[in-house]
């Protein structure tokens, strides 16, 4: 662990995110499943339960002052969750994906989060909870794999048929919940689920700004990926600048389908993304971040500026030209201080 890693502990993250988010996902790496599940879920729960993000409260962010302020002076600000219908309902979607990286185990994420009391905690925050049965990736992915003999081999996108089929089902579900005015809370699964979450979200709400809390940039595309693992690609696959036509990847053809309301296939403009917590990025990703001008806060920045300031800057970047846009938070537990979540065998 380096000194700067120590700064990104859950407490800081929880206290710093005084955000008005409308959707969230959380993803795992197998070695990180056990201990952090309680912390991970409390983190997400806190996000869902957040109150107003006034500049006054955000100013105190990093050290937890903003959060203490909320507890002392709770507000019931209707300007929050503007994109969520009343009564507020969170749709909990289990996405037990394992095919985006080499290890089995990430499929236990939804179960462990539920076991650690997620649903009760959500309801105690005053939300209605819609607990949807986990997506049946065993069946969906096995069915998709049947086509593998008739399909060309993936161009450096491992298990793309399985990841593609699973994420297509996830995208449909996320999109339908957003269109009902619900808050989709997606429980991974490895981070290739981001392909499904982002596709569904961007089809329903193309203006969405994305905050990607992760040690990794996940900005690879098959032409440059060093590992071929799709958990390293969800953001790259959403950027037109990095991949023109996703139909070249077997299993991802659906990503080029028009959105129902005619807004085109789901795409994320580079200025609609902010990274928080980077500490392990590939050569090509580094180049892309620079070329595309993506806003990126590394562990160094968090250590240097403090997480409160980093979050102020992140929000400023996403909201300055579009103060009413929805936000999506994607949280990979490997962003957490390795003292709490062992990052063995990242790739
Ligand atoms: N969400 C993650 N854990 N991503 C890990 C990605 C690691 C590496 N950059 C790759 O593309 O293979």
Q: What tens digit of pLDDT does each residue of 5-38 get?
A: 233 343 444 444 444 567 777 776 544 444 445 5
- 251 contacts 161 by C-beta, under 8 angstroms: yes
Residue 100 Cβ < 6 Å to ligand 1: no
| Cα-based distances in Å from 341 to 15, 40, 106, 125 | 19, 10, 14, 26
Q: Where are the domains of the chain?
A: 3-33+72-335
Angle formed by the axes of helices 193-204 and 160-179, to 10°?
A: 30
Residue 347 Cβ < 6 Å to ligand 1: yes
3-33+72-335: which CATH number, 3.90.1150.10, 2.60.120.620, 3.40.50.2300, 3.40.800.10?
3.40.800.10
Tell how far the Cα of 218 is from the centroid of ligand 1, in angstroms.
6
| Cα-based distances in Å from 113 to 25, 60, 268, 340 | 12, 29, 29, 16
At 17 the pLDDT is: 42
Residue 332 Cβ < 6 Å to ligand 1: yes
Residue 29 Cβ < 6 Å to ligand 1: yes
Q: Which two tokens stand for residue 241?
A: 């600048």
Residue 282 Cβ < 6 Å to ligand 1: yes
At 29 the pLDDT is: 56
At 265 the pLDDT is: 97
Tell how far the Cα of 123 is from the centroid of ligand 1, in angstroms.
33
Parallel, antiparallel or unpaired: strands 295-298 and 327-332: unpaired
* 93: β partners: 132, 186
Tell how far the Cα of 89 is from the centroid of ligand 1, in angstroms.
32
Tell how far the Cα of 82 is from the centroid of ligand 1, in angstroms.
33
Tell how far the Cα of 220 is from the centroid of ligand 1, in angstroms.
8
Closest residue CA from atom 9 of ligand 1? 232
Question: Residues near 323 by Cβ (< 8 Å), separated by ≥ 6?
Answer: none
Q: Which of the residues in the chain have pLDDT under 70?
A: 1-21, 28-80, 149-154, 338-347
How many Å apart are CA 239 and CA 294, to the nearest integer?
A: 11
Q: CA quadruple 79, 84, 89, 91: dihedral positive or negative?
A: negative
Name the pTM for this structure.
Answer: 0.85
Tell how far the Cα of 191 is from the centroid of ligand 1, in angstroms.
8
How many Å apart are CA 103 and CA 248, to the nearest integer?
A: 25
The four Cα atoms 72, 76, 82, 88 give a dihedral, to 10 degrees, of 100
Q: Which two tokens stand for residue 141?
A: 């992915």
Closest residue CA from atom 5 of ligand 1? 232
Residue with tokens 């590939």: 282
How many Å apart are CA 205 and CA 6, to the nearest integer?
A: 35
DSSP secondary structure of 143-165? HHHGGGGTSPPPSS-TTHHHHHH
How many Å apart are CA 53 and CA 298, to the nearest integer?
A: 23
Q: What tens digit of pLDDT does each residue of 60-107 get?
A: 333 333 444 555 555 555 566 778 888 989 999 999 999 999 988 889
Q: Which of 19, 20, 21, 37 is nearest to 29 (CA)?
A: 37
DSSP secondary structure of 6-25? GG--HHHHHHH-----SEEE
Neighbours of 164 (CB within 10 A): 27
How many Å apart are CA 63 and CA 256, to the nearest integer?
A: 44
At 7 the pLDDT is: 36
What's the complex ipTM? 0.98
């Amino acid at each position: 662990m380096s000194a700067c890693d120590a700064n990104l502990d859950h407490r800081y993250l929880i206290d710093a995110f005084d955000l008005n988010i409308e959707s969230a996902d959380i993803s795992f790496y197998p070695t990180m499943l056990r201990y952090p599940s309680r912390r991970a879920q409390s983190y997400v729960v806190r996000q869902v339960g957040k109150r107003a993000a006034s500049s006054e409260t955000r100013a105190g962010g990093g050290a937890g002052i903003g959060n203490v302020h909320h507890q002392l002076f709770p507000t019931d600000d209707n300007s929050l969750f503007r994109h969520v219908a009343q009564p507020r309902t969170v749709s909990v979607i289990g996405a037990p994906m394992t095919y985006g990286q080499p290890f089995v185990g990430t499929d236990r994420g939804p179960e462990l989060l539920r076991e650690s009391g997620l649903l009760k905690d959500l309801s105690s925050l005053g939300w209605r909870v819609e607990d949807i049965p986990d997506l049946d990736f065993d069946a969906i992915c096995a069915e998709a794999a049947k086509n593998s003999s008739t399909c060309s081999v993936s161009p450096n996108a491992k298990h793309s048929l399985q990841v593609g089929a699973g994420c297509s089902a996830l995208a449909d579900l996320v999109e339908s919940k957003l269109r009902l005015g619900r808050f989709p809370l997606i429980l991974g699964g490895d981070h290739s689920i981001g392909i499904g979450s982002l596709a569904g979200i961007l089809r329903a709400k193309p203006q969405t700004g994305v905050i990607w809390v992760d040690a990794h940039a996940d900005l690879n595309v098959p032409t440059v990926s060093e590992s071929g693992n799709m958990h390293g690609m969800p953001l790259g696959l959403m950027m037109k600048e990095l991949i023109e036509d996703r139909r070249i990847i077997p299993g991802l053809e659906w990503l080029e389908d028009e959105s129902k309301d005619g807004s085109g296939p789901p795409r994320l403009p580079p200025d609609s993304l902010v990274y928080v917590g980077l500490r392990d990025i590939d050569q090509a990703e580094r180049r892309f971040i620079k070329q595309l001008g993506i806003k990126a806060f590394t562990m160094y920045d968090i250590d240097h500026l403090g997480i409160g300031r980093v979050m102020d800057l992140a929000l400023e970047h996403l909201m300055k030209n579009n103060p009413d846009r929805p936000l999506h938070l994607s949280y990979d537990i490997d962003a957490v201080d390795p003292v709490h979540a062992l990052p063995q065998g990242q790739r």
